[in-house]
Chain A
Amino acid sequence: MSMKILLIEDDPDTASYVAGGLRENNHVVEHVPDGRDGLFVASGGNHDLMVIDRMLPGLDGLAIVKTIRGAGLKAPVLMLTNLGGINDRVEGLEAGADDYLVKPFAFAELLARVNALARRPPIAPTVAVLKVADLELDRLKRAVTRGGKAIELQPQEFKLLEYLMRNAGQLVTRTMLLENVWDFHFDPRTSVVETHISRLRAKVDRGFGAELIQTLRGSGYCIREPR
């Protein structure tokens, strides 16, 4: 799926790194290095998604997001913030950004988030049951079955599986899981994600034949029907 992506970023290295990577993944990237021009281009409403730096010359990234949200533009926004700015995330989300990423980041992380955002809303709010192959998750009854057989999950395991299934077929990185399932906005030193994924696997995949939860080495996890 090719998207038109607007990148507002003043640092030339980051910009070429991000734009190059996105183009390699068949997206059309328009790059603007200045905040004021960025707002002008963004207001056109011609983009499927925007990647906006927090700190920009001319006009602050936060102000851009606030303005375009105020003007009713709905395209998802991924905000790039600097290391250590613990208030940046909250401010960015309050201004109307959909996700944030702390610099420096691995390109795989950015791509995973861009893809996750592009699919938003992944499932209509009315859809109560998520399905991947013969695995079903009922969000209202908070029940999980595979091949009709009920599976007992702990609350966090349920949350983890739900997040994976909402992004079914997509790469979900370790950081995305920490932020969305555990509300951890830091890197734990112990293997929190790995431990819970392996427990979830033991319940959801073991003894059911095909393994649905897959590890993508070095980048993250993905739930999908094996080909």
Chain B
Amino acid sequence: MNLGNLLHSTSFRLIAWYVAVFAVSVAILLTVVYWITRAALDQQLTDSVEREMSVLTEIHRVRGMESITRGLQRRIADLKPPRRYFLLQSGTGEKIGGNLPAMSPFSGWRDLPIPAEDPGIAPGSKPEAGESLLALGRRLPDGNFLLVAENQYRTIKAREAILVAAGWGIAISLLFAIGGGILIGDSFLRRIEDINRTSRSIIDGRLSDRVPTRGSSDEMDRLAVNLNAMLDRIQSLMESLKRVSDDIAHDLRTPLSRLRRRLEIALEQKRAGQDCGPAIEDAVAEVDAILETFAALLRIAQIESGTRRSAFASVKLGQVVSEAVETYSAVAEDREQRVLADIDRAAVVQGDRELLVQMIANLFENAIRHCPSGTAITVSLTREGGDAVLCVADTGPGIPIAERDKVLKRFYRLEASRTTPGSGLGLALVKAVADLHGAALELESNSPGLRVVIRIRSSGPSRGQRDPAAQGGDHETEELRATPV
């Protein structure tokens, strides 16, 4: 993270504002403290001077001049170093006592300069440094002038100390604020930069890159998690799209060349003056088969994209399977096969009715096509816990264990069944629909034959509570169908 980057970042601007506001509030706080302290110190000084003045005035009133002169001498002698000053002057301006030079009398408060050398009684003691004295003058009732003063040095020093402390306080808190701001902003920017880096990497073609997450579940982490989920979704859609185009390119080539051959035959027959009708009919049938394959491919891709999940509703699976049994029993009988069914008609799942119908039809057709005549196809639908378990078993050649995963892929057909009609998409579609419903699909051996077991999990408790209403709705439509208009 370089500084230029930091200075241009949103978080830096936020931090700068934060620091400014912080600094202003610290300054206001310290100013208030300063003024209050200063006022208190000043008050303390004036109180001290006033107290001394009233004590001396009282001595003068009660005991007279003699006593006050002695009092002044004793006080001055006690001051080491002298920071308090006194002056007692006669009405004619002659100094009677004290440690200040004579001056013109005044009444009230005044600032006085500090005398250059201590004129007081305590010899050898230097006056305290400082700029000025705070003096209170008063004319005594007998016409004499009394002055009490105190060096303001300590007050000024205290004031300065407070100002310096305040300055340091502001400087240090600003440093902390800026430092903290940069640290916070930097960690924030680092995470934004993570996202930027991932974006650039994806733009450059590394589609599987993801934004690193910390598991802290704060806003940034949630943003990263959501971005990753979005990227996963986009990637799976793209892969699905790519698979479709690959599949089309790969597997429609054969039927298309077959179609071309048939049309060539028709053309040759026409040139030779023969009846080309049957050849053209064959070609039309071939085109229909190609279209059907194409539709199935697109359908599987759409199912895999998961967009159908938004249309999930309560589906009476028991009823759907019963109807499929009725439909395919007749077809099976024509092939001298039997369908043995054990259906729990009350089974209900959350799902897409249209796709479930097609999935079940595909299972039946698969079984019927692979079952030799004279045998039975066993179908059962049971409820285990909340799950609906559909089982379709045939007694055909079955699928070797090694091939079981492969038959669920598109266009995969066992070598043995290459000669029978079929697009090789039947079980792939079954798998896609099962996956869409979060159902577990198992291919098992029926020894002999194949048994397909699909376990559709029951929906969560919140959905389960909605079920009765959904079933009610379903029931209504069923009644409408039962008495068609």
Contact = CB atoms under 8 A, between A and B. Distances in A.
Among B294, B328, B354, the most chain A Cβ lie within 10 Å of the Cβ of B354
Q: Name the 5 nearest CB pairs between A and B, nearest first.
A: A84-B298, A125-B485, A195-B331, A195-B330, A190-B331
A139 B483 contact: yes
Interface stretch (A6-14, A21-29, A177-185): A177-185
17 contacts: A83-B295, A84-B294, A84-B301, A85-B302, A87-B302, A87-B311, A90-B311, A154-B326, A183-B354, A185-B354, A186-B296, A187-B292, A188-B361, A189-B369, A190-B331, A191-B331, A195-B331
Interface range on chain A: under 10, 10 to 19, 20 to 34, or 35 or more?
Answer: 20 to 34
B295 A192 contact: no
Contacts of B354: 86, 183, 185
A183 to B, nearest CB: 6
Main secondary structure of the interface of A (DSSP, over half): loop
A119 interface: no
A16 interface: no
Contacts of A87: 302, 307-308, 311
B421 A189 contact: yes
Nearest to B421: A189
Contacts of A85: 298, 302
Contacts of A187: 292
Contact of A190 (B301, B303, B368): B368
Main secondary structure of the interface of B (DSSP, over half): helix
A190 B295 contact: no
A87 B310 CA distance: 11
Given A86-B302, A139-B483, 20 more contacts: A83-B291, A83-B294, A84-B297, A84-B299, A85-B298, A85-B302, A86-B303, A139-B484, A155-B326, A183-B354, A185-B354, A187-B292, A188-B365, A189-B421, A189-B426, A190-B328, A190-B365, A192-B327, A192-B331, A196-B327
Interface string A180-210: 0011111111111001100100000000000
Nearest to B423: A189
B330 A196 contact: yes
A140 B311 CA distance: 33
B302 A182 contact: no
Interface range on chain B: under 10, 10 to 19, 20 to 34, or 35 or more?
Answer: 35 or more
Interface in B436-467: none
Nearest to B335: A190
Contacts of B422: 189
Given A87-B307, A90-B311, A195-B334, A104 B483 contact: no
A187 B290 CA distance: 12
B323 interface: yes
Interface in B299-316: 299, 301-303, 307-308, 311
Nearest to B426: A189
Contacts of A190: 328, 331, 365, 368-369
A50 to B, nearest CB: 23
Interface string A56-88: 000000000000000000000000000111110
A182 B328 CA distance: 11
A184 B357 contact: yes
Interface in B186-216: none
A104 B291 contact: yes
Interface string B354-389: 100110010001001100000000000000000000
Contacts of B291: 83, 104
A186 B484 contact: no
Contacts of A191: 331, 334
B291 to A, nearest CB: 7
Given A185-B354, A196-B330, A199-B330, A84 B295 contact: yes
Contacts of A199: 330
